[in-house]
Amino acid sequence: MKLLSIVVPVFNEQEVLPAFYAEMAAMLRELPERVELIFVNDGSRDRTPEVLKELRRTDERVKIVNFSRNFGHQTAVSAGIHHARGDCVGVMDADLQDPPAHLAAMVAKWRAGADVVYAVRRTRQGALWKRACYRLFYRILRSLAAMEMPLDAGDFCVMDRRVVEVLRAMPEQSRFVRGLRSWAGFRQEALEYDRPDRASGETKYSLSKLVRLASDGILGFSVVPLRAISVAGIAVASLSFAMIGFYLLWHFFGFRILGHAPQDVVGFLTLVCLILFLGGMQLLALGIIGEYLGQVFLESKRRPLWVIASTAGFDEPEPNRDDCGGTTR
C-alpha cells in the first residue's frame, strides 16, 4: 500500500489545530493510502507542542518535528519534506485555508499520474491591498524568473517521491519552496480553488516575513535585477558620451540655447563632461561587478544542473541516485 505524507508547518496554532486535525482525520478515512501526518512545530511559544503531543497520543500517524526556535515557514516546510517517507508528499497550512477536501482531489490527480499537483488560488480573502500585492508579486516573479513560474500558486501541493528527491538534492539555504518545486519539472498540474479565510487565530506571517518571502522568491530565481544595473550603466554611459559630444559642438559653434551661450559660465563645460563621464563609467563598472556577482550567485546555489525523468538504452534499468546530475556536491 502506498504511503501518503502530509507536511504541516505550525507556528503558534493552538486555537486552530484541533479543528484542523478533526477535518483532516475525517478526510483521511476516505483515502486508500496509509498516512503519516508530519507536524513541524516552528518554535511555537503557545501550547502548540502540548496539543501536538496530545494528538500523537491518540493517533500514531501523527509525527512531530520540534524546531529549537522559529526558523520560518519555508524552512519548516523544507524540514517536513526532508523527514517525509511517503510515495506522495503533501504540504498544507494548519489554519484550514488549504482545505483537506481539496488535498483529497490533488491526491487523486497524483494517482492518475501527475508528479506535482499544486493549488492555484482563484480567489482569496483578506484586505484589498494585500490581495493586490499578492497578485502583483506573482506577476512580477513570473516575468523575472528564468523559468516557467505558475501564477497565484502557494505551497499547498502534493508531490511524487521523485520530485521530493529533487527538492532534497537542492542544498541551498534560502528556500522558496514553491519556486524549487516548479524548478524540479516533471508533470505538473494545477488545481484551482477559492482560498477561504483562516479558521481561527491570527496570521503568523508578519509583514516583514512576507517581504522576506517575496524577495527570496525574486532573488532566488532571477538575476534580472542585477543585470538591470549593467543595462542602466550602458544607457547612462551612452547618454553621457552623446551629451559630451553635444557640449563640444555647442562650445565650438557657440550657438545660443534659451538665450545662453557656452562662454557665459566659465568651466561649466569641463564640469558637465567630467560628471557625466565619471557617472557613466561608475555605473558601467558596477554593472560589470554585478555580472560577476551574478555568476558567483548562480554557482553558489549548487543546484543540480539537470533532472532526468527517465532514460532508455543504458545498462541499468532505472537510473536512480543519479537522477539529479551535474553538480560538484
Q: Given the rule CB under 6 A, which residues bind ligand UDP?
A: 9-11, 13, 42, 70, 72-73, 76, 93-95, 97, 198, 203-205
Query: Rounded CA gap, 285 and 249, in Å?
Result: 28
Considering the complex, state which of residue 10 and residue 283 has its C-beta at the smaller distance from ligand UDP.
10
Tell me: does residue 12 bind Mg ion (CB under 5 A): no
Give which of ligand UDP, Mg ion, none residue 11 binds (C-beta under 5 to 8 Å, depending on kind): ligand UDP
Query: Rounded CA gap, 120 and 112, in Å?
Result: 19
Provide φ and ψ at 319, rounded to 5°: -70, 135
Give which of ligand UDP, Mg ion, none residue 42 binds (C-beta under 5 to 8 Å, depending on kind): ligand UDP
Q: How far is the CB of 103 from Mg ion (least distance, A)?
A: 15
Region from 91-99, 118-126, 226-234, 310-318 binding Mg ion, contact rule CB under 5 A: 91-99
Separation in Å, CA 268 to CA 238, 256, 263, 264:
20, 15, 9, 9
Query: Rounded CA gap, 119 and 194, in Å?
Result: 10
Fill in the per-residue mask, 23 to 52: x = in contact with Mg ion (CB under 5 A), - = not in contact.
Answer: ------------------------------
What letter does residue 294 receive in the DSSP assignment? H
* Structure-block grid coordinates of residue 95: 489554519
Give which of ligand UDP, Mg ion, none residue 72 binds (C-beta under 5 to 8 Å, depending on kind): ligand UDP
Q: How far is the CB of 6 from Mg ion (least distance, A)?
A: 16
> Residues, the chain, total?
329
Fill in the per-residue mask, 45 to 84: x = in contact with Mg ion (CB under 5 A), - = not in contact.
Answer: ----------------------------------------
- CA atoms in the 13 A half-sphere facing the CB of 51: 22
Query: Rounded CA gap, 203 and 226, in Å?
Result: 33
How many residues touch Mg ion under the rule CB under 5 A: the total is: 4
Tell me: does residue 222 bind Mg ion (CB under 5 A): no
Residue 49 CB coordination number (10 Å): 17
* Structure-block grid coordinates of residue 206: 508578519
Region from 142-150, 159-167, 193-201, 318-326 binding Mg ion, contact rule CB under 5 A: 193-201
Tell me: does residue 97 bind Mg ion (CB under 5 A): yes
Considering the complex, state which of residue 93 and residue 216 has its C-beta at the smaller distance from Mg ion.
93
Provide φ and ψ at 280, rounded to 5°: -65, -45
Evaluate whether 284 touches 233 at the Cβ level (below 8 Å): yes
Considering the complex, state which of residue 93 and residue 115 has its C-beta at the smaller distance from ligand UDP.
93
Give which of ligand UDP, Mg ion, none residue 204 binds (C-beta under 5 to 8 Å, depending on kind): ligand UDP
Q: How far is the CB of 211 from Mg ion (least distance, A)?
A: 17
Considering the complex, state which of residue 36 and residue 98 has its C-beta at the smaller distance from Mg ion.
98
> How does 184-194 read in b/e, with b if 16+ C-beta sit within 10 Å?
bbeebebbebe
Q: How far is the CB of 222 from ligand UDP (least distance, A)?
A: 22
For the chain, the first-to-last Cα distance in angstroms comes to 34
Region from 10-18, 34-42, 194-202, 268-276 binding Mg ion, contact rule CB under 5 A: 194-202
Give which of Mg ion, ligand UDP, none residue 205 binds (C-beta under 5 to 8 Å, depending on kind): ligand UDP
Evaluate whether 44 touches 13 at the Cβ level (below 8 Å): yes
Tell me: does residue 95 bind Mg ion (CB under 5 A): yes
Query: Rounded CA gap, 36 and 145, in Å?
Result: 34
Separation in Å, CA 62 to CA 25, 208, 212:
10, 31, 31
Considering the complex, state which of residue 2 and residue 82 has its C-beta at the smaller distance from ligand UDP.
82
Query: Rounded CA gap, 187 and 264, in Å?
Result: 71
Binding site for Mg ion (CB under 5 A): 93, 95, 97, 198
